Amino acid sequence: MSDERPVEASAVADRYRGLADEVRALGGDRVRIVAVTKTFPPEAIAAVVAAGCERIGENYARELIDKWERFTSAHRAGPVPEVHFIGGLQSNKVRSLVGIVEVWQSIDRESVVAELSHRRPGARILLQVNATGESDKGGCRPDQLDALMSAATSGGLTVEGLMTVGPTDGDPERTENAFRTVARLASDLDLPELSMGMSGDWRVAVAQGSTLIRVGSAIFGERPPRTL
Ligand SMILES: *Cc1c(COP(=O)(O)O)cnc(C)c1O
């Protein structure tokens, strides 16, 4: 996990509430916030949930399992957020995550679809699309999406929408184009959810129809390095 720097709960709460206000002003009730807690300690989850956040996002299986155990044992009474898995996912990790993850946002290959259909029939998923052509990014190519969609529905999974990550360089025009492309793909497939936008580009994503933004550093500050 992280170096376990103390989490300043009041600063997290202030930033979360400020973000939520701005999101509501720009996107109304359509847009929900997934607070990305990767590499932050369990107290970060507690802080953002106490501020009213209902969803958290995590990227790494081992880290999530360990953190979730610590979070749930320390917060037996309070509200529990919905856990979204947003990182690169290999099929051999699915089994260990089925009791924790409620929304699988980063499904981008048929091997994972098959494993998840087997381990968690009916699971709620988003299909991740790589709309920037960057080879370091997860996601299927847009021309692979129909086949992946068919595999997921025939496997009995609940496909709620699409997920994408904007271009790494943050170029405004390329960002907007990528989000527009994915929004169109979701609309062609009649899928209601669109997970697009992070700390640096969520406003562009909301303008293109995002319904789920995944925000980490704008809530929690600079991320500590990954150690687990
Ligand atoms: C880390 C991460 C985020 C959050 O990034 P920030 O820039 O800190 O908001 C969102 N989505 C994915 C897929 C990530 O890996």
Each residue of 61-86: pLDDT tens digit? 999 999 999 999 998 888 999 999 99
1 pLDDT higher than 80: no
Name the residue of 198, 206, 226 to mutate for ligand 1: max ligand atoms within 8 A of Cβ.
198
Nearest atom (ligand 1) to Cα of 223: 8
Whichever domain contains 112, its CATH number is 3.20.20.10
Query: Is 44 a member of any domain?
Result: yes
Long-range contacts of 4-12 (CB under 8 A, 24+ apart): 4/41, 5/41, 5/224, 6/43, 7/40, 7/41, 7/43, 7/44, 7/47, 7/220, 8/47, 9/43, 9/46, 9/47, 9/50, 11/221, 12/44, 12/47, 12/48, 12/51, 12/219, 12/220
Query: Is 74 a member of any domain?
Result: yes
Name the residue of 48, 214, 217, 223 to mutate for ligand 1: max ligand atoms within 8 A of Cβ.
214
Query: Is 221 a member of any domain?
Result: no
Amino acid at 152: A
Put residue 146 in one of left, alpha, beta given phi > 0 → left and psi -120 to 50 → alpha: alpha
- What mean pLDDT value characterizes the chain? 96
- Residue 81 is part of which domain span? 9-215
Query: Is 227 a member of any domain?
Result: no
pLDDT at 4: 63
Query: Is 220 a member of any domain?
Result: no
Query: Is 226 a member of any domain?
Result: no
Name residues contacting ligand 1 (CB within 6 A).
36, 38, 59, 86, 165, 198-200, 214-218
Average pLDDT over residues 106-126: 98
pTM (predicted TM-score): 0.96
pLDDT band for 89, please (50, 70, 90 cuts). Answer: very high
pLDDT at 3: 53
Query: Is 16 a member of any domain?
Result: yes
Query: Is 149 a member of any domain?
Result: yes
Name the residue of 36, 56, 86 to mutate for ligand 1: max ligand atoms within 8 A of Cβ.
36
Number of separate domains in the chain = 1
224 pLDDT higher than 60: yes
Higher-confidence position of 8 and 227: 8
